[in-house]
Structure 1
């Protein structure tokens, strides 16, 4: 049995601590234009069957919750019963009229254990008091609310025992204002765009990792690499953990750094360093709750998968992974990317892909960056040998890989 492809956009939702706790899932009929969907219930039925039943939502969400836009027709349909109530948030679109029928339906779904949210609230509708007892989360559209009215709306809603989510946050000033007002959750391009993500200053571990990567890429001797680990005990501990893990291929415990490096191998060492760049330091963050770390890992893996689908050889696929994950180093280090990668003496093709988005891999990076925003925003023609289903497949595979990586990542 064949399926029509559906297309997935995701935007992270963060809590007050800056940890990712959910995604809003944006389903589209194609990567060109969302308006192609003419039958909302039929389209969403296919999405539910394919994404939730056959693929398994863990591929998409991991341990996070997923906010799903719900129209009136879908809200009233039996399809809602197919959704995993413990992991989804039903987000009622702003186009739904809050009449008695809708309110009764929300009351029933709430009793059944579903979590409900109101989307794009910009004013205090007269029917809000009637439906709020059955609503868990209210999303306030910052772009649609005058600043002088925002405080009044927030003050009213905070008395209703609902969580408040500020959406369409585009800058630090908006984020700070919403924090002061007491919002619980936050969403917007301020968090989703890599250049706007809050990075971390270069720590000793980060500098050591860059040094390590430079040594590995120029094929330095084992004893040179070993010296970096000896100067950084925390990295040495992580190295021993990963080499002694089940997936390392070692048949016995390793008790020396040099032996650990030999068993791990240069290729795996390079990959581990690249990923560890985004999970080292003193913050205690993991791939699971840090959107920057997760985005870097998913982007790298997605680049690698798509490079394979394009028929590029294994070395280029490895370059694609590195380009994907390195493309976020400026957000991580809060420094210009060119300053970070120049000491690494990268291959010119890799350098130009990162800095200028040139070449086959540079264009692939642009494509992946566009799909991260929303697949219906992808512009232009897809590369030869890539179709719309390939984009979705690569994204889902990369998400699953990142989720597995998070579960096995040594702390």
Structure 2
């Protein structure tokens, strides 16, 4: 199973040459072109990679992001996962304009989404009811004749629509489009798409199914939190998603429970559905031993926090996160600082992970010592052996599943 992800990102500039947006593109590898056989699946991968593997702040910053959508995706509620103020829904040229689709676009526009039409050659009658509700039109310079482009621009003068010239490959094309009155520009003349790649762990189908079932059945937050605690990779993606769509840079995430609360049940349900859709087939026959170790360490630190600081109700959740995240470097094969930087963790959690500072850092050191020494009774923390055994039993119980 391929554990890598790839995302294309091509700049869109204004008349002054200033960067104002990116188009986010499906890529299956390092090749700078797409081999799309399923438009829905391609965009699902783009959303998953931009939101959960990388983080939207890292991909877009404060700029707009154009994402291709086909008819099925446009009609689905998966779109409500996206931040309305930053994502432009780019309707593919293959989409048939029907009354239901026009109604859906009006609804999305009223919700706050911006909408674009892709690869337009001429303004045909079926486009007319849609024009008051869209904000961008991409005219295909390669497919349209100069007469068609001129006619389309004239027909669009009455609407408040920004014209985007795409596939610009030369200064002559750019200058001509400037004279015609285009507002935005995209093409190889300005920049080829950059491929953003990395390695991703594959969350198991079992974990995703369990999460989906819990959220769909309106389970208690504690039960959802427990499911996340057994899957460190899903927790990392959860926090990236919170920072991308719900929280922002001024919000500090201290625990899985808070992340679940901030994001909300419906958003989590859609995110898990998207992950399941893009998940490649296959599942290991047994639990990942490293993920199991991370769950044990997290629970162990949670128990230590409860024992040492019985009146601090927030510390156990933070302790669990520190314990579990302390093994992310081995799980993801990436530097820990690089992994946690996009997660916007609170300062005490971050300091504990990177520098072993503060009470959480001291507990992390104790937990690591206990894992190696406590079964033989050599740890220096009072009552360490029972705590470790309790943590192991908890993790084993979480991972228990019917056999056969």
TM-score (norm 1): 0.45
Structure of larger gyration radius: 2
TM-score (norm 2): 0.46
- Larger RCO: 1 or 2 (CA < 8 Å, sep 6+): 1
